[in-house]
Amino acid sequence: MINYKVFDDGQAVVEALSQELLEYSQSTQPVHISLSGGSTPKLWFKYLADHYRDKINWNNLHFWWGDERCVAPNDPESNYGQAKALLLDHIEMNPENIHRIIGENDPEEEAQRLAEEICQSVPKVHGIPAFDWIVLGMGDDGHTASLFPHHTDFNDPDLTLVAEHPQSGQLRVSKSARLLSNAERITYLVLGEGKAQRLQEIATHDSVDLPYPAAKIKARNITEWYLDANAAKDL
C-alpha cells in the first residue's frame, strides 16, 4: 500500500518529519535511519537543529545515507557535509552512530566497505539488513538515491554499488534497490511544481510499466510520499 500525504508547504512537511523522528528516538532499541541529500533535507536538518536539538534522544538513532557523491566531506556536493553543517554540528550525538559514506575513498572499495559495515550493524530481515526508516528524494527524471532510469539493475544481489550519473559522469556510491526495498518504511520527500508531472505519472501507472526507480522501489511495510501542495497539484 502506498500512501500520499499532502501538506500545505515544505515547512509543514519538515514539521511532520521532525515529530516522527522524535518518536523513533524514544524507542527502546537502536533505530537505523537512512537520510537523503537534496534541498528538502536541508530544510529538515535546519528545522531539527533549531527546534528539536534538545528534544530528541539522538543516541538512540543511527544515521546512514542513501547515497553519496564521490567527493570529500567539505565539498558543497557532499550529502554528509550538508547534514554535518546544518544538523550534526549542532546536536549531541555519539560519533559512532554516524555512518557516513566516505566519498573520498576509492568508489569500489568504499561500496564494499559500506556493505560490510551495514551487515555488521543493521539487524536483518529475510537475511538482508533492514533499515527502520529510509528517507528518499526523487529527481526530475524519476531517479532516487543514485539509481537512475534505464541504468538500474533491480535484480542486483549486492547491497551497495557504484553508479555513474548519466549526464555528468560523476561517480556515486549508493544503496542498491534490493537493500532499499528491504526497509520497514520508505518515505519519499517531493516538493515543488517541477515534480508534479512525474509524480502524477507514478501515481496513475503500474510501476511495472515505468522506468523510474522512485516508482519501483517500495518498502516491506510502509511506502509513503510526503508532498507539498505544489508537487501534488496533478494528483
C-alpha cell at 163: 553508479
- With 0.95 as the threshold, say if the pTM is over it: yes
Q: Under a CB-based contact definition with an 8 Å cutoff, are residues 47 and 14 in contact?
A: yes
Q: Where are the domains of the chain?
A: 2-226
Domain 2-226 of CATH type 3.40.190.10: no
Strands 2-7 and 222-228: parallel
**At CA 11, angle to CA 196 and CA 53, rounded to 5?**
135
Helix axes 39-51, 10-25, angle to 10 degrees: 60
Environment class of residue 64 by beta-carbon count within 10 Å: exposed (0-12), middle (13-18) or buried (19+)?
buried
Output the tens digit of pLDDT for each of the chain's 235 residues: 679 999 999 999 999 999 999 999 999 999 999 999 988 899 999 999 999 999 999 999 999 999 999 999 999 999 999 999 999 999 999 999 999 999 999 999 999 999 999 999 999 999 999 999 999 999 999 999 999 999 999 999 999 999 999 999 999 999 999 999 999 999 999 999 999 999 999 999 999 889 999 999 999 999 999 999 999 999 8
Q: Under a CB-based contact definition with an 8 Å cutoff, are residues 191 and 230 in contact?
A: yes
Number of H helices, E strands in the chain: 7, 11
Residue 15 CB contacts under 8 Å (≥ 6 apart), including other chains: 47
